[in-house]
Amino acid sequence: MESAAVKSEGLVIPLIDFSRFLDGTPAQRKETAEAILHGFQTAGFIYLKGLPITSEYRKSLFATSAKYFRLPVETKISHAWTTPAANRGYSAPGREKTTTLLDFEDVKKLRDAAPDLKESLEIGREGEVGHPNHWPVEEGELVGFKETMLEFHDKCRRLHMEVMRAIAVGLNIDEHWFDNYTDVGDNTLRLLHYPEVKKDVFTINPGQVRAGAHSDYGSITLLFQDSRGGLQVQSPSGKFVDATPIEDTCVVNAGDLLARWSNDNIKSTIHRVVEPPAGDGDVYPARYSIAYFCNPNFKSHIEAIPSTYQTEKDRKYPGINSGDYLVQRLAATY
In the complex, least distance from residue 314 CB atom to Fe ion, rounded to whole angstroms: 29
**Residue 123 binds ligand AKG (CB under 6 A):** no
Please report how close the Cβ of residue 242 comes to Fe ion at its closest, in angstroms: 15
Stretch that binds ligand AKG, among 104-112, 176-184, 223-231, 311-319 (CB under 6 A): 223-231
Indicate the residue among 20 and 190 with the shorter CB distance to ligand AKG: 190
Q: Work out which of 31, 122, 216, 226 binds Fe ion, going by CB under 5 A.
A: 216
Q: Nearer to ligand AKG by C-beta: 31 or 186? A: 186
Sign of CA dihedral 18, 20, 22, 27: negative
The residues, ordered by sequence, that sit 6+ positions from 96 with a Cβ below 8 Å of its Cβ are 81, 116, 118, 120, 333, 334
How many other CB atoms sit within 10 Å of the CB of residue 219?
Answer: 30
Closest CA to 15 of 175, 38, 161: 38
Of 178 and 292, the one with the shorter C-beta distance to Fe ion is 292
Binding mask 69-98 for ligand AKG (x = CB under 6 A): -----------------------------x
The contact pattern for ligand AKG, residues 128-167, with x = CB under 6 A and - = no contact, is ----------------------------------------
Interacting residues of 18 by C-beta distance below 8 A, sequence separation 6+: 32, 48, 49, 50, 51, 162, 163, 166
Residue 276 Cβ, how far from ligand AKG at the closest point, in Å? Answer: 11
Cβ closer to ligand AKG: 171 or 231? Answer: 231
Site string for ligand AKG, 276-295 (x = CB under 6 A): -------------x-x----
Spatial separation of the C-alpha atoms in residues 138 and 164, rounded to whole Å: 35
What CA–CA distance (Å, rounded) separates 252 from 91? 23
The pairs formed by 108-117 with CB atoms below 8 angstroms and a separation of 24 or more are 110/212, 113/207, 114/205, 114/207, 114/208, 114/209, 114/212, 116/209, 116/210, 116/211, 116/212, 117/93, 117/194, 117/195, 117/197, 117/201, 117/208, 117/209, 117/210
Q: Which is nearer to ligand AKG, 159 or 209 (CB)?
A: 209
Q: Which is nearer to ligand AKG, 39 or 230 (CB)?
A: 230
Letter string b/e over residues 138-173, b meaning 16 or more CB atoms within 10 A of that residue's CB: eeeebeebeebbbebbebbbebbbbbbbbbbbbbee
CB of 41 to ligand AKG, least distance (A): 20
| Strand-pair partners of 95 | none
Decide if residue 192 touches ligand AKG (CB under 6 A): yes
Q: Does 117 bind ligand AKG (CB under 6 A)?
A: no
From the CB of 238, what's the least distance to ligand AKG, in Å?
18
Query: Which of 42, 182, 208, 225 touches ligand AKG by CB under 6 A?
Result: 225
* From candidates 5, 171, 222, 223, binder to ligand AKG by CB under 6 A: 223
| CA-closest candidate to residue 107, choices 123, 96, 118 | 96
- Please select the residue that binds ligand AKG; options are 157, 271, 284, 302, rule is CB under 6 A: 271
Chain positions contacting Fe ion, by CB under 5 A: 216
Chain positions contacting ligand AKG, by CB under 6 A: 98, 190, 192, 211, 216, 223, 225, 231, 271, 273, 289, 291
